[in-house]
Every structure is written in structure tokens, then in C-alpha cells.
Amino acid sequence: MINKKKFVAVIGGSECSKEEAKLAETVGRELAKQGAILVCGGLGGVMEAACKGASAEGGTTIGILPGDSRQAANPHVQIPIVTGIGYARNAVVVKSAQAVIAIGGSYGTLSEISHALQSDIPVIGLNTWSLSKNDQPDNSIIPAQNPTEAVDKALNLATR
């Protein structure tokens, strides 16, 4: 594998608030500025906003789609991967990245966070899920206060 660039997944809801979209777009811009490749689920909401930001800065965007049609990709996906495996593709999104940034999101995003943590892929969280087990907090999701901090932490941890 000859690519020296880092692959970072941005995950979140296919519908999202304006605030989340703004966070995602800034994350996408920062990733592109710092030379990273954006991986996402290829659909709308957070995924689309992140792709829009990355594309605006000349970055590369990969969309790993659940369905059977490349046409389902948002307009800023440059490399659509058409899996046809439904939401089992959530595991593929995170495994294809060296670090993950989670922004908001619902249960699909939580499944991606879980698959990432199960595979020892670092997860940075922006206004997203927090976890506890048997009433003990689990601090595996690394918090970030803003998009720049999230990108910096992701790139520092994307070493595998």
C-alpha cells in the first residue's frame, strides 16, 4: 500500500442539525488542509457536510454506501464504494480508516463507534454519545471541544 496519506472516517447522522453540519464541514476542511483522506458512509447529513468541506479544500472523499446504487452518494463523494450489504457496511466504514471522528449521530453512529473501538481504532467525539457500563463511565471516546482539536487528535492517533 503506497499511500502515505492518513485515512480518517467522519461519522454521524444522515440527518443532522445545522450546528452538526457546520462542525462536520469544518472537520472535512481541516482534514483536507492537513492532507488526510476522508472516509464516510457516503450519504447525507454529517457525511455530506464533511465531504463538502473536504472537497472545497481539494481533498479526496470516499463514500462507503449501504445500498446497490452509486447514485445514492452525496454530490461531494469522489470515490463511491457500492457495498450492497446494508448497515453491515458500518463496520467497513470504520475499518477503512485509521481514526474516526464522531459528530452527533444516532444508533447507526453508535454501531460505528462500537465497531471502531472493538477494532482498536481511536474514536474522537464531538457532541456525540458517551458510554458507561454497570454505572462506571467508559472513557474510550476521546472528547474534542471543536473541529480543529478533533482533527489534530485524530491525525496524531492515526498511526496504524
Other C-beta atoms closer than 10 Å to the C-beta of 65 total 24
- Amino acid (one-letter) located at 160: R
Q: Using CA atoms, how far apart are residues 2 and 17, in angstroms rounded to an integer?
A: 38
In the list 10, 82, 155, 157, the residue contacting a copy of itself (rule: CB under 8 A) is 82
Q: Interaction with a copy of itself in 9-28: which residues (CB under 8 A)?
A: none
Task: Give the contacts of 145 (CB within 8 A, at least 6 positions apart).
Answer: none
Which positions from 41 through 60 interact with a copy of itself, judged by CB under 8 A?
55, 60
Sign of CA dihedral 113, 120, 2, 87: negative
Q: Which residue type sits at 143?
A: P
Site residues for a copy of itself, window 95-154 (CB under 8 A)?
95-96, 98, 104, 106-108, 110-111, 113-115, 117-119, 127-135, 140
Give the residue with the Cβ less far from a copy of itself, 26 or 98. 98
Contact pick of 32, 74, 99, 154 for a copy of itself (by CB under 8 A): 74
Strand partners, 38: 8, 61
List of residues contacting a copy of itself (CB under 8 A) = 1-3, 7, 37, 55, 60, 62-64, 68, 70-71, 73-88, 90-92, 95-96, 98, 104, 106-108, 110-111, 113-115, 117-119, 127-135, 140, 160
